[in-house]
Amino acid sequence: MRKNIVAGNWKMNNDLPQTEALIVDLLKQTQTSNAEVMIAPTYVNLYQAFDATRNSNIEVIAQNMHFAENGAYTGEISATMLKSVGVKTVILGHSERRAYFNETNESLAKKVDAALKNDLRIIFCFGEELSDRKSGNQEQVVENQIKSALFHLEASAFKNIVLAYEPVWAIGTGETASPEQAQDMHKFIRQTLQNKYGENTAQDVSILYGGSVKPANAKEIFSKPDVDGGLIGGASLKAEDFIAIVNAF
Ligand code: PGA
């Protein structure tokens, strides 16, 4: 059975005092929930966040990692480093990484392999640009992103993979895909998985939606049968909003 997941991607926001304060707020408001709850603070605050959320239902996850185990990669962080501070899940392929840091389907395939080799769970992000949607190519683009980074894997690897469909035109723009647009694409993604790996694998993979999810629209988006949760940017920076989204399940 696939899980419901709500993950907050804090991006390059919140220094250490702000991280600690937001976690205190979140812990005050989180009760038991029907979804797994995750937050992704910046690298330098991962350990403090991990420590502050011990014995809670909040999992601290990372926003990115390098594919190498270690070595001369100034400014980069490896899977083993993440694991050593308690991280068990990493976001890979976020559109901001693809757009501003030249991440490609090929380099992402290497990151995927490195994460799985180190027993990290992956939230793998992908999604089309506005121009792709306008020209009606969104399914082709998404299929290509998934195939080139993930389809060299065995079916069993998908136990440790969560997919996150994030149309680039909806990220941080206030414009959300309609619940129907999200459902259509999620259904297409599940079908693409099924064609390659069979129904059991396809049914067990959680597919999150990301792009301007807010307390006001979360319930409707999450009510769609192939939407298993959300990757939340802006609205994850306010405890009240993030918890309202978690509670939309
Ligand atoms: P947003 O970001 O919720 O601010 O649109 C989503 C994301 O980038 O994951």
Instruction: For residue 102, give the 3-state DSSP assignment.
Output: coil
Q: Which atom of ligand 1 is nearest to the CA of 234?
A: 4
Residue 79 is predicted with a pLDDT of 98
Residue 142 is predicted with a pLDDT of 98
Taking every pair of Cα atoms in the chain, the longest distance, rounded to a whole number of angstroms, is 48
> Which parts of the chain register pLDDT below 70?
none
Amino acid identity for residue 15 in this structure: D
Amino acid identity for residue 86 in this structure: G
114 lines ligand 1 (CB under 6 A): no
Question: Active-site residue 186, yes or no?
Answer: no
| Spatial distance between the Cα atoms of 207 and 7, rounded to a whole number of angstroms | 12
Question: Active-site residue 66, yes or no?
Answer: no
- DSSP conformational letter for 4: P
CA-based nearest residue to 124, from 162, 156, 168: 162
The CA 215 to ligand 1 mean position distance, Å, reads: 13
| Spatial distance between the Cα atoms of 201 and 204, rounded to a whole number of angstroms | 5
Average pLDDT, the chain: 96
Take residue 168 and report the two structure tokens written for it.
């680039």
Residue having the nearest C-alpha atom to atom 2 of ligand 1: 233
Burial class (CB in 10 A: 0-12, 13-18, 19+), 224: middle
Residue 171 is predicted with a pLDDT of 86
Beta bridge partners of 207: 163
Set 36, 96, 128, 166: catalytic member:
166
The answer to whether the pTM exceeds 0.95 is yes
Set 36, 59, 66, 94: catalytic member:
94
Residue 42 is predicted with a pLDDT of 98
Give, for ligand 1, the residue of 213, 221, 241 to mutate: max count of ligand atoms closer than 8 Å to Cβ: 213
Residue 34 is predicted with a pLDDT of 86
| Spatial distance between the Cα atoms of 37 and 5, rounded to a whole number of angstroms | 6
Interval 192-202: pLDDT, tens? 999 999 999 99
- Helix ranges restricted to H, the chain: 16-29, 46-52, 79-84, 95-100, 105-117, 130-134, 138-150, 179-197, 199-204, 215-222, 239-246
Interval 58-87: pLDDT, tens? 999 999 999 999 999 999 999 999 999 999
Q: Which atom of ligand 1 is nearest to the CA of 212?
A: 5
Q: Which atom of ligand 1 is nearest to the CA of 214?
A: 3
Residue 30 is predicted with a pLDDT of 72
Residue 175 is predicted with a pLDDT of 78
Interval 163-191: pLDDT, tens? 999 999 988 887 788 999 999 999 999 99
Residue 193 is predicted with a pLDDT of 98
